[in-house]
């Protein structure tokens, strides 16, 4: 019985570590891919922003059931959020979706299709503010985190940027 219990504890620990991990190098590379397309400088990874992102992701997990809600940065940093549902099987089982660290950034970057640089606006009815934060020319640092709601197997991702982008009336690049 002790061996089975130890194995279960080790397996649960490995699952939590895999689910909660953010590959900082992959996150930075994914951001910098989009930034290179528009000729702005590279971002570097910030452990401080990562810690702040983790605190907010954990807050959303504990107080908001992994539903997205922006923090109140008051200009201290920019912020992008990404939510992923559980994988749901036909028999009703819910399983943690394996989300690579690059997927949230790719989702935000794909908003480029809905952004007009000439008009500095999104297409009607579309969202593009995540994209503009990813490529904001004066942002130089990023830190990201993820939290998983164990009951629903949903997850919320948070990336924070300094200096903040998306200033009204200003173009991202």
- E runs forming strands in 23-108: 44-45, 78-84, 87-88, 94-95
pLDDT band at 59 (very low <50, low <70, confident <90, very high): very high
> Mean pLDDT, to the nearest integer, of 142-149?
97
**What is the per-residue pLDDT for 75?**
87
pTM, full prediction? 0.85
Please state the φ and ψ torsions of residue 169, each to the nearest 5 degrees.
85, -10
The token pair at 122 is: 């999104």
**What is the per-residue pLDDT for 21?**
86
105 burial class (0-12, 13-18, 19+ CB within 10 angstroms)? Answer: buried
Please calculate the CA angle 103-101-153 and round it to the nearest 5 degrees. Answer: 85
CA distance 151 to 146: 16
Count Cβ atoms below 10 Å from residue 63 Cβ, excluding itself: 9
């Amino acid at each position: 019985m002790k061996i089975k219990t130890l194995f279960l504890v080790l397996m649960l620990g490995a699952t939590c570590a895999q689910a909660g991990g953010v590959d900082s190098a992959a996150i930075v590379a994914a951001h910098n891919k989009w930034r290179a397309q528009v000729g702005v400088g590279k971002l570097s990874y910030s452990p401080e922003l990562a810690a702040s992102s983790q605190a907010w992701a954990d807050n959303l997990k504990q107080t908001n059931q992994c539903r997205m809600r922006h923090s109140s940065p008051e200009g201290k940093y920019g912020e992008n959020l990404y939510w992923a549902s559980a994988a749901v099987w036909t028999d009703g089982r819910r399983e943690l979706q394996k989300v690579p660290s690059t997927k949230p950034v790719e989702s935000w970057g794909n908003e480029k299709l809905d952004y007009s640089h000439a008009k500095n606006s999104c297409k009607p009815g579309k969202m593009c503010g995540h994209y503009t934060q990813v490529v904001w020319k004066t942002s130089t640092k990023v830190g990201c985190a993820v939290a998983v709601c164990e009951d629903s197997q949903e997850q919320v991702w948070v990336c924070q940027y300094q200096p903040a982008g998306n200033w009204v009336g200003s173009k991202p690049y």
